[in-house]
């Protein structure tokens, strides 16, 4: 079958001169990218053969590209030959002869089997056909192979590969090949071989553009094919392609619909080839059908290409119990799912979706008369689309009908609870205890591990939406801890305030819990230890080191070590250098705090070493900010702002504590070189604060405060001063150098 390179709706070429601006070549409306954002699992129809046709935007098929059945054919072909030749032949050997052996080796094997001296290669010897019981069969296999392999020169117009060169064959040689084929075909006695020769001839006619002959040959010899054999279906594909080439689209499309329905390995390919051009062709195509089922198939294809609702109505008119509508139904619902997921704030929620009224009417209509259909998918679809449309009464009616089927399998059950939760939450203006109670059964199912493990179930997006939506309602009520518990991070900066953090920790210690709270704690995304660690970090940032240490100790042990020595400092920050440098002592967060406490004690106990200790402590505080080599210190599951900065809204961007200790170090020292160093480090803190407080669009240089002035005035004679000039561009700019 001649496979077309893309869906016929659009251009066959992707060429850019015409198409540079195109980013969307979608097959239907909406924004979905595969199942991202979708909450409706099409697999509920439980008909795996239709999986490729689930709604998708990325590729022609939900399960990827079409290989025109090539891999299936290879396997089938091998199996069929093994059964023909008899069991002593291994799959490996057959594959070798079918796909790897050269024409010369095929000839040599024939000679060898006939007992004459041959020129077999090592591989051919390894896979010799000698042990095959009936050597006549082996010889007929080899003769066929010889013919088929020669045929490849004539029938392989596949130019979409790097290797091939267009084969130029003369008319005479084609005629010869056809004559040879006909000869083999006539003489072949075994039906197995006969239909293979017929298939080869069919290909030969098609690829040599003798379409009349391809059509008549198939028609005249169709009885030679065994019913439903792969050869018959593949040859039929060439007949359809020949009709297509002759612009006999109606008949061609009709045959493609038969192949689409009847032979799974060619299902995708037939779907792509099926290609009606004008409305009138539909009627003509339908007129060719020989049974109701064939009509249903045509309408299913029409639904895939054109309008799913019209198609479903037609199919059900023909056969109210048809399962061919199921695919179209879930496609229609998947196309309709608008971004419910983005509407977690009230303004958006109040806007009614512009749901396709046709679909809505159709679904409501159909679910009234589902006696012989697969009822659960109709009720769930109708409920879902009604809920999306904010028609909760209609949705509830459908859910009540769906309920009795919900336990038919795990997927149905989960989808039921998902849609149920969606309907309940979407109508909530506020949340109270009774609303909570109502949600418990649905969320118990949705959040459970068993549900997450159900293959294909589109639950992650639903869970995210549910959490966000409920969190929004609690936040409106001012129940910030519950808000945080359901959807961490809803109030972004609340934990810059230690009081809020302590309240959150206390919430985790609450002993009397409602069922709803129990559920939330059971499936909480963060735990108490995460908040306790953040508390320890916040204490440290405020220089409340003892409290910080206590908090670190009360939380769970964090074995991760900081990537560099947090007590190191340079004129120019270089985190990578610090992280690569060898370290004698490695610090965990807790060990880092312990060391700071020890240094503070030492500074007080030994005034002669105070300046050094204060300097190291300052380095520690510097390095635990956004600017330091130990930024990892404030990495935490509650506040994971480690790689971003947001202009002084968070403690980690404040260099004030480092500045305080650099100034204490400066004061405690009389060594001019050391004092120069402390002053420069103070200038760095000043600079960081400058850049954190200027307007976001500020593009200029650092405007120095007091410490560059002090450096120039008091320390210009020091060695350190000349090092700063060498390394620090800001300072050179300041000096005008």
Among the listed ranges 274-282, 388-396, 407-415, 462-470, the one in contact with another protein (CB under 8 A) is: 274-282
In the complex, minimum distance from the CB of residue 30 to another protein, in angstroms, rounded to a whole number: 8
Q: Which residue from 10, 99, 493, 698 is in contact with another protein, where contact means CB under 8 A?
A: 10
Question: Which tokens sit at 680?
Answer: 């420069």
Q: Which residue from 185, 205, 305, 702 is in contact with another protein, where contact means CB under 8 A?
A: 305
User: What count of other Cβ atoms lies within 10 Å of the Cβ of residue 339?
Assistant: 13
Coil, helix or strand for 718?
A: coil
Among the listed ranges 19-27, 140-148, 657-665, 708-716, the one in contact with another protein (CB under 8 A) is: 19-27
Question: Which tokens sit at 161?
Answer: 């590969």
∠ Cα 49 51 57 (to 5°): 145
Burial class of residue 402, CB neighbours in 10 A (0-12, 13-18, 19+): buried
Please tell me whether residue 13 binds another protein under the rule CB under 8 A. yes
Q: Which residue from 116, 162, 170, 511 is in contact with another protein, where contact means CB under 8 A?
A: 162
Burial class of residue 486, CB neighbours in 10 A (0-12, 13-18, 19+): buried
CB–CB of 225/262 below 8 Å? Answer: no
Rounded Cα distance, 224 and 232, in Å: 9
Q: Where are the alpha helices (DSSP H) in 86-170?
A: 91-95, 103-113, 122-126, 135-155
In the complex, minimum distance from the CB of residue 76 to another protein, in angstroms, rounded to a whole number: 22
Please tell me whether residue 670 binds another protein under the rule CB under 8 A. no
Spell out, one character per residue from 463 to 502, where the chain touches another protein: x when CB under 8 A holds, - when not.
----------------------------------------
CB-nearer residue toward another protein: 358 or 500: 358
Please tell me whether residue 19 binds another protein under the rule CB under 8 A. yes
CB-nearer residue toward another protein: 277 or 581: 277
Spell out, one character per residue from 58 to 87, where the chain touches another protein: x when CB under 8 A holds, - when not.
xx----xx----------------------
In the complex, minimum distance from the CB of residue 247 to another protein, in angstroms, rounded to a whole number: 12
Chain Cα centroid distance, residue 583: 41
Please tell me whether residue 171 binds another protein under the rule CB under 8 A. no
Please tell me whether residue 170 binds another protein under the rule CB under 8 A. no
CB–CB of 382/364 below 8 Å? Answer: yes
Q: Which residue from 18, 103, 133, 287 is in contact with another protein, where contact means CB under 8 A?
A: 18
User: What count of other Cβ atoms lies within 10 Å of the Cβ of residue 669?
Assistant: 18
In the complex, minimum distance from the CB of residue 411 to another protein, in angstroms, rounded to a whole number: 26
Rounded Cα distance, 561 and 632, in Å: 9
CB-nearer residue toward another protein: 162 or 643: 162
CB-nearer residue toward another protein: 8 or 441: 8
Q: Which residue from 49, 116, 165, 247 is in contact with another protein, where contact means CB under 8 A?
A: 165
Q: Which residue from 107, 210, 251, 307 is in contact with another protein, where contact means CB under 8 A?
A: 307
Torsion of CA 467, 471, 474, 478, to 10 degrees: 160
CB–CB of 503/515 below 8 Å? Answer: no
Spell out, one character per residue from 22 to 61, where the chain touches another protein: x when CB under 8 A holds, - when not.
xxxxxxxxxx--------------------------xx--
Please tell me whether residue 251 binds another protein under the rule CB under 8 A. no
CB-nearer residue toward another protein: 60 or 620: 60
Among the listed ranges 160-168, 314-322, 430-438, 598-606, the one in contact with another protein (CB under 8 A) is: 160-168
In the complex, minimum distance from the CB of residue 311 to another protein, in angstroms, rounded to a whole number: 11
Q: Which residue from 48, 117, 166, 283 is in contact with another protein, where contact means CB under 8 A?
A: 166
CB-nearer residue toward another protein: 11 or 513: 11
Q: Which residue from 181, 237, 276, 488 is in contact with another protein, where contact means CB under 8 A?
A: 276
| CA-closest candidate to residue 666, choices 617, 632, 620 | 617
Question: Which tokens sit at 331?
Answer: 């496609």
Please tell me whether residue 283 binds another protein under the rule CB under 8 A. no
Question: Which tokens sit at 107?
Answer: 């000839």
Please tell me whether residue 713 binds another protein under the rule CB under 8 A. no
In the complex, minimum distance from the CB of residue 192 to another protein, in angstroms, rounded to a whole number: 34
- 3-state SS of 266-280 is HHHHHHHHCCCCCHH
In the complex, minimum distance from the CB of residue 554 to another protein, in angstroms, rounded to a whole number: 48
Question: Which tokens sit at 325?
Answer: 């509508």
∠ Cα 475 479 485 (to 5°): 85
CB-nearer residue toward another protein: 358 or 370: 358
Rounded Cα distance, 428 and 423, in Å: 9
CB–CB of 531/638 below 8 Å? Answer: yes
Query: Directed axis angle between helix 528-541 and helix 589-605, to 10°?
Result: 30
CB–CB of 112/128 below 8 Å? Answer: yes
Q: For 581-607, b where at least 16 C-beta lie within 10 A, e where not — what string?
A: eeeeeebbbbebbbbbeebbeebeeee
CB-nearer residue toward another protein: 277 or 321: 277
Burial class of residue 200, CB neighbours in 10 A (0-12, 13-18, 19+): buried
Rounded Cα distance, 62 and 257, in Å: 20
Give 63's contacts (C-beta < 8 A, 6+ positions apart): 51, 52
Q: Which residue from 111, 120, 174, 310 is in contact with another protein, where contact means CB under 8 A?
A: 310
Contact positions with another protein (CB under 8 A) in 140-159: 159
Q: DSSP state, 54? A: S
Q: Which residue from 115, 116, 122, 161 is in contact with another protein, where contact means CB under 8 A?
A: 161
Question: Which tokens sit at 592?
Answer: 């880092």
CB-nearer residue toward another protein: 149 or 275: 275
Give the number of residues in contact with another protein, rule: CB under 8 A. Answer: 46
In the complex, minimum distance from the CB of residue 20 to another protein, in angstroms, rounded to a whole number: 5
Q: Which residues bind another protein (CB under 8 A)?
A: 5, 8-31, 58-59, 64-65, 159-162, 165-166, 275-279, 281-282, 305-307, 310
């Amino acid at each position: 079958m001649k496979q077309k390179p893309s869906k016929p709706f659009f251009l066959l070429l992707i060429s850019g001169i015409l198409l540079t601006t195109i980013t969307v070549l979608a097959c239907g409306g909406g924004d979905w990218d595969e199942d991202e954002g979708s909450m409706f699992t099409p697999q509920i129809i439980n008909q795996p053969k239709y999986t490729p046709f689930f709604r998708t935007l990325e590729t022609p098929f939900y399960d990827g590209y079409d290989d025109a059945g090539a891999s299936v054919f290879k396997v089938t072909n091998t199996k069929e030959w093994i059964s023909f030749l008899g069991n002593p032949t291994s799959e490996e050997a057959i594959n070798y002869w079918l796909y790897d052996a050269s024409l010369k080796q095929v000839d040599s094997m024939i000679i060898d089997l006939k007992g004459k001296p041959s020129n077999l290669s090592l591989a051919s010897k390894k896979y010799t056909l000698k042990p095959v019981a009936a050597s006549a069969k082996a010889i007929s296999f080899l003769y066929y192979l010889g013919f088929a392999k020669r045929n490849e020169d004539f029938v392989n117009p596949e130019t979409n590969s790097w290797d091939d060169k267009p084969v130029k064959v003369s008319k005479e040689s084609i005629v010869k090949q056809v004559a040879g084929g006909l000869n083999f075909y006539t003489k072949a006695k075994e039906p197995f071989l006969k239909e293979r020769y017929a298939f080869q001839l069919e290909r030969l006619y098609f690829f040599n553009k003798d379409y009349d002959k391809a059509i008549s040959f198939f028609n005249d010899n169709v009885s030679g094919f065994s019913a439903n054999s792969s050869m018959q279906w593949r040859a039929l594909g060439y007949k359809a392609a020949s009709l297509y080439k002759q612009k006999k689209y109606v008949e061609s499309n009709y045959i493609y619909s038969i192949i689409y329905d009847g032979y799974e390995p060619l299902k995708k390919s037939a779907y792509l080839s099926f290609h009606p051009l004008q409305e009138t062709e539909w009627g003509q195509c339908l007129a060719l059908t020989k049974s109701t089922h064939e009509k249903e198939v045509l309408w299913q294809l029409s639904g895939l290409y054109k309008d799913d609702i019209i198609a479903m109505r037609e199919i059900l008119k023909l056969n109210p119990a048809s399962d061919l509508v199921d695919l179209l139904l879930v496609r229609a619902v998947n196309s309709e799912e608008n971004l419910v997921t983005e509407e977690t704030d009230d303004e958006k929620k109040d806007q009614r979706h512009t749901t396709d009224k046709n679909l809505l009417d159709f679904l409501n209509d159909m679910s009234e008369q589902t006696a012989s259909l697969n009822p659960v998918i109709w009720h769930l679809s109708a409920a879902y689309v009604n809920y999306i449309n904010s028609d909760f009464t209609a949705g509830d009616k459908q859910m009540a009908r769906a309920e009795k089927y919900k336990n038919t399998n795990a997927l149905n059950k989960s989808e039921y609870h998902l849609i149920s939760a969606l309907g309940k939450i979407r109508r909530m203006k506020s949340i109270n205890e009774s609303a909570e109670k109502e949600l418990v059964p649905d969320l118990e199912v949705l959040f459970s591990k068993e549900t997450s493990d159900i293959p294909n179930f589109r639950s992650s997006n639903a869970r995210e939406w549910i959490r966000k939506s409920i969190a929004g309602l609690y936040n409106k009520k001012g129940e910030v801890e519950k808000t945080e518990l359901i959807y961490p991070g809803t109030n972004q900066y609340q934990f810059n305030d230690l009081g809020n953090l302590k309240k959150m920790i206390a919430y985790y210690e609450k002993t009397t819990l409602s069922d709803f709270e129990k559920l939330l704690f059971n499936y909480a995304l963060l735990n108490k230890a995460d908040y306790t660690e953040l508390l320890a970090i916040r204490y440290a940032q405020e220089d409340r080191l003892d409290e910080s240490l206590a908090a670190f100790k009360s939380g769970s042990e964090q074995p991760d070590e900081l990537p560099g020595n947090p007590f190191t400092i340079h004129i120019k920050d270089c985190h990578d250098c610090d992280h690569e440098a060898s370290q004698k002592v490695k610090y965990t967060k807790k060990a880092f705090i312990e060391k700071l406490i020890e240094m503070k004690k030492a500074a007080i106990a030994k005034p002669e070493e105070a300046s050094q200790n204060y300097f190291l402590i300052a380095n520690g505080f510097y390095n635990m900010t956004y600017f330091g080599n130990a930024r990892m210190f404030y990495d935490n599951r509650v506040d994971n702002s480690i790689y971003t900065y947001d202009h002084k809204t968070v403690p980690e961007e404040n260099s004030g504590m480092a500045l305080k200790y650099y100034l204490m170090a400066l004061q405690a020292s009389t060594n001019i070189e050391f004092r120069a160093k402390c002053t420069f480090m103070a200038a760095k803190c000043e600079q960081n604060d400058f850049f954190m407080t200027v307007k976001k669009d500020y593009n200029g240089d650092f405007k120095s405060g007091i410490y560059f002035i002090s450096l120039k005035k008091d320390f210009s004679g020091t060695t350190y001063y000349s090092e700063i000039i060498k390394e620090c561009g800001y300072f050179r700019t300041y000096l005008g150098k």
